[in-house]
Structure 1
Amino acid sequence: MRGTAGWTLAEMPGQTGRTALVTGANSGVGYETSRALARVGATVIMGGRDESRLAEAATAIRAETPGARLEVRRLDLADLDSVRAAAAGVLAEGRPLDLLFNNAGVMAVPQRRTTRDGFELTFGTNHLGHFALTGHLLPALLSAGAARVVTVSAIASRWPAGGLADVNSEQAYRPMQAYAVSKFANVVFTQELARRAAGTGLVAVAAHPGVSQTNITREVPRVLAAVNQLLRPFLFQSTDRAALPSLYAATHPDLGGGEFVGPTGLGEGRGAPGPVRLPRQADDPEVGRRLWELSERLTGVDYAFPSTRPAA
């Protein structure tokens, strides 16, 4: 795996003795992230809705990396009970969690649908599911001492003109607008998590993969799919390269929290990973506070940070 220039996997530190959890690990960027982490010695908990597909993905990685330490866990981000159960299983083992990749997502669902808990499916899966998962796993993350939470956003995070005004798409549902809002929320969440975790050793970084054809695009409108197919040789990058920003965000020593990492080539569609500009208003503390309080209310998850923290 190599970017067009700059940082490559050859520069990623070894991860032996560290544990990572990757959501959406059976395909696309999640699979490539799991594959790369296994190669450098991490224990990877592969989370996803379909255990049989996860098992197939784990088998493929083991065939390439004999001795890879992989675990398969059912985790449906559109079901808060499933999120709670998956996190409880990790916590019950009593081990620190060094890396959390909030990677899974849905995109351009044609008609408005809801999660098991009644939230609009895109926002409920892409943001609320990951907000709840991170909160439930907070004790394991804090016990690691220097954990990182990488939340995977998208270029679309820069699109929503209305910000977070209609996160549940109750006024009017538009598939790509709902996706953009959820991805903007991913970056706002990262910014607010970085602020609230200051002094704990927990580092929160957002990342976006650039432009890549993965399973998440299977619901896009036919016209857009046709355009994507025509432009693919010129604008798209391979899925393994699309995973580089997430891996950079998780392991680069110079990141202190709150950064947004993406491809640094033209239009951020492809190229080597590195810090890129934040979406407008994503770092506004008031926007972060409102999203955080809304997310706590909707999910019922309260982040229990220690009252006494070491110096940052």
Structure 2
Amino acid sequence: MHATRAAAHWTPADIGDLTGRTALITGGSGGIGLETARVLAGHGAHLVLAGRSPEKLEHAAAELRAAHPGAAPDTLVVDLGSLASIAGATAPLAAEGTVDLLFNNAGVMNVPERRTTADGFELTFGTNHLGHFALTAGLLPALLRAPAARVVTVSAIAATWRSGRLTDLMSETGYRPMGAYAKSKRANVVFTLELARRLADTPVTAVSVHPGAAITDLQRHTGGPLGRAFTTVAEHLLMGSPEGAARPSLYAATAPGVASGAFLGPAGRDQTSGTPRTVALPRGADDPAEGRLLWEESERLTGVRFTP
């Protein structure tokens, strides 16, 4: 894993022709995921929009068809909080499909009270990390059929917080909404680094990104008058747009010279301009021992194995 070579100046307009390439985006019906899909559709990619709501997915697909008459996006109903749903959704693609670009983009944040997934995992960690761990494993055969697949996993600035230490993964001894989120986002980075190590002898490139700060559907759990007031102020004064927040993902997936294991973020406070850049990893995230422990625990919890 070597440093990523950044383009002198990159914009989404620099993305080449993606005709014949398939991009699967979790959380593709809104926010950063839908903006990612919009840009890729404009460059000819075949899109698979993945999410829990068939209605939201179809609405997003219709929007893309209207904006890009040649687009023919598919939808994939999958609940990242259900291992059975993930297995059912990935099986057809694993059997005979090809995925060139996988965006592990969906997530939940700031869930007020501890909740669990269908399989009994704490909801935030179970969705943001374990769900994408199982999804990536299920799609690995389809990724390996591509000549040079990339797996882009969307982390967050929260990955660097002290509360993101990978202990008490299910928040059983104490639950704090943003602490659970920070753990899941650190896990995204550690998982990506370990995936890069394990797939080093394959054409698959694994990259993690953080989008900066943007108002998206992730804020839907911020409740009460105070939370809504904060969101309104932040949206206008502090946070960027989904368009800007999608840039690191788009760069990671399409730019030449992106190294496996890289962690990329916005060029600066202005998310809508400048070339996304390599950013500092969370402290200790590149420790192979931490990567191995998270991987083994993820396999134990999910019962999922990565089998090329």
The interval holding the TM-score normalised by the smaller chain is: over 0.9
> Against the structure 1 CA distance between its residues 162 and 16, is the aligned structure 2 distance closer, same or farther, given a 3 Å change threshold?
closer
Q: Residue 235 of structure 1 contacts residue 269 of structure 1 at CA under 8 Å; is this kept in 2? A: no
- Is 2:12 aligned against 1:9? yes
SS in 2 for 1:302: coil
Aligned to 1:192: 194
2:277 paired residue among 271, 274, 278:
274
Aligned to 1:127: 129
User: C-alpha displacement at 1:276, in angstroms?
Assistant: 1.3
Query: Which 5+ residue runs of structure 2 have no aligned equivalent?
Result: 1-7
SS in 2 for 1:280: coil
> Against the structure 1 CA distance between its residues 231 and 56, is the aligned structure 2 distance closer, same or farther, given a 3 Å change threshold?
closer
User: C-alpha displacement at 1:281, in angstroms?
Assistant: 1.1
Aligned to 1:236: 239
SS in 1 for 2:23: strand
> Pairwise CA RMSD of aligned residues?
1.6
Q: Residue 21 of structure 2 contacts residue 45 of structure 2 at CA under 8 Å; is this kept in 1? A: yes
Q: Residue 163 of structure 2 contacts residue 182 of structure 2 at CA under 8 Å; is this kept in 1? A: no
SS in 1 for 2:232: helix
Aligned to 1:160: 162
Alpha-carbon distance between aligned partners in 1 of 2:268 and 2:41, rounded to the nearest angstrom: 27
SS in 1 for 2:73: strand
User: C-alpha displacement at 1:270, in angstroms?
Assistant: 6.8
User: C-alpha displacement at 1:220, in angstroms?
Assistant: 2.3
User: C-alpha displacement at 1:90, in angstroms?
Assistant: 1.7
Question: Size of the alignment, in residue pairs?
Answer: 299
User: C-alpha displacement at 1:112, in angstroms?
Assistant: 0.3
SS in 2 for 1:281: coil
1:37 paired residue among 36, 40, 52:
40
Q: Residue 160 of structure 1 contacts residue 181 of structure 1 at CA under 8 Å; is this kept in 2? A: no
- Is 2:236 aligned against 1:247? no
Aligned to 1:88: 91
Alpha-carbon distance between aligned partners in 2 of 1:78 and 1:7, rounded to the nearest angstrom: 35
SS in 2 for 1:14: coil
Q: Map 1:213-228; keep pairs closer than 5 Å.
A: 213-220=215-222, 222=224, 223-228=226-231
What is the TM-score of this pair, normalised by structure 1?
Answer: 0.92
Q: Map 1:31-180; keep pairs closer than 5 Å.
A: 31-92=34-95, 94-161=96-163, 163-180=165-182
Q: Map 1:278-293; keep pairs closer than 5 Å.
A: 278-293=281-296
SS in 1 for 2:252: helix
- CA offsets per residue over residues 52-73 of structure 1, 9 Å max, x none? 1100110011111001020011
Could you tell me the percent identity over the aligned residues?
A: 55
Alpha-carbon distance between aligned partners in 2 of 1:165 and 1:209, rounded to the nearest angstrom: 25
Q: Residue 209 of structure 2 contacts residue 252 of structure 2 at CA under 8 Å; is this kept in 1? A: yes
User: C-alpha displacement at 1:221, in angstroms?
Assistant: 5.0
What is the TM-score of this pair, normalised by structure 2?
Answer: 0.93
Q: Residue 22 of structure 1 contacts residue 46 of structure 1 at CA under 8 Å; is this kept in 2? A: yes
Q: Residue 164 of structure 2 contacts residue 184 of structure 2 at CA under 8 Å; is this kept in 1? A: no
Alpha-carbon distance between aligned partners in 1 of 2:136 and 2:177, rounded to the nearest angstrom: 26
Aligned to 2:3: none
User: C-alpha displacement at 1:240, in angstroms?
Assistant: 1.2
Aligned to 1:20: 23
| Greater shift in the superposed pair: 111-120 or 81-90 | 81-90
SS in 1 for 2:49: strand
- Is 2:174 aligned against 1:182? no
Alpha-carbon distance between aligned partners in 2 of 1:202 and 1:61, rounded to the nearest angstrom: 28
SS in 2 for 1:237: coil
**Amino acid paired to 1:118:** G
> Against the structure 1 CA distance between its residues 231 and 47, is the aligned structure 2 distance closer, same or farther, given a 3 Å change threshold?
closer
**Amino acid paired to 1:146:** A
> Against the structure 1 CA distance between its residues 22 and 9, is the aligned structure 2 distance closer, same or farther, given a 3 Å change threshold?
same
**Amino acid paired to 2:210:** H
Alpha-carbon distance between aligned partners in 1 of 2:94 and 2:80, rounded to the nearest angstrom: 18
SS in 1 for 2:25: strand
User: C-alpha displacement at 1:35, in angstroms?
Assistant: 1.3
